[in-house]
Copies of this chain bind each other. A is one copy, B any other.
Amino acid sequence: MATKHENLVSWLRDAHAMEQQAERMLTAQKERLHNYPKLRTRIEKHIEETLGQRETLERALTRLGSEPSTLKDMSGKLMAFGQAMGGMVMSDEVVKGAMSGYVFETLEIASYTVLIAAAKAVGDTQTQQDCEAILQQEIAMADWLREHLPELSQAFLDRSDTPGLEAKR
């Protein structure tokens, strides 16, 4: 049993750990990308957004009398996610990377959707509005990745099929 307030705080801490993981994954991806400049530029933009989101979550936790956990269960789970996805670094790295980026964005979309419901249930309008604003950024990034996936796959397949061109990153 837990109060709505306790669940909200717990989910905000999950989201904070998730954004830290997002920052690590996006930075690692960005640094490896060479031949797909459009994707790299979009990732750079989203890293900036991610930093702002983390700060917003920190303010929400402070308002609710809590703070980000330094080591919460969720972190470990997300690290496993990162390893599962990060482990996909292989011959089709750029495609798997964009896929995993999209999938991680949808984890964020799910998290903020749940947080908005929880903030509403508690009557915390500020947190609700903050999460609604972040959700729009996550949706925009997820949509961008999904919409560019066919074009990126095509570019990868062409490079992969051409002697002398590096395709994977």
CB of A117 within 8 A of CB of B157, answer: yes
Nearest chain B CB to A6 CB, angstrom units: 9
Say which one of A23-31, A33-41, A81-89 lies at the interface with B. A81-89
Interface residues on A, range: 35 or more
Per assembly, the copies of the chain total: 2
A133 interface residue per 8 A CB criterion: no
Complex Cα gap A103–B113 (Å): 13
CB of A157 within 8 A of CB of B7, answer: yes
- 1/0 per residue A1-12: CB within 8 Å of B? 111100100110
Given contacts A157-B7, A161-B3, contact A149 B117 (CB under 8 A): yes
CB of B111 within 8 A of CB of A99, answer: yes
Given contacts A7-B160, A153-B118, A161-B3, contact A102 B92 (CB under 8 A): no
Nearest chain B CB to A117 CB, angstrom units: 4
6 closest A-B pairs by beta carbon, nearest first, are A80-B84, A117-B153, A106-B106, A99-B110, A117-B150, A81-B84
- What are some 28 contacts across the A-B interface (CB < 8 A)? A1-B160, A1-B161, A1-B162, A1-B167, A2-B91, A4-B160, A4-B161, A7-B157, A10-B92, A76-B87, A77-B87, A78-B84, A81-B81, A81-B84, A95-B114, A98-B110, A99-B107, A102-B106, A102-B110, A113-B149, A114-B149, A114-B153, A117-B153, A117-B154, A117-B157, A118-B157, A121-B153, A121-B154
Give me the interface of A with B, judged by CB distance under 8 Å: 1-4, 7, 10-11, 73, 76-78, 80-81, 83-85, 87-88, 90-92, 95, 98-99, 102-103, 106-107, 109-111, 113-114, 116-118, 121, 142, 146, 149-150, 153-154, 156-158, 160-163, 167
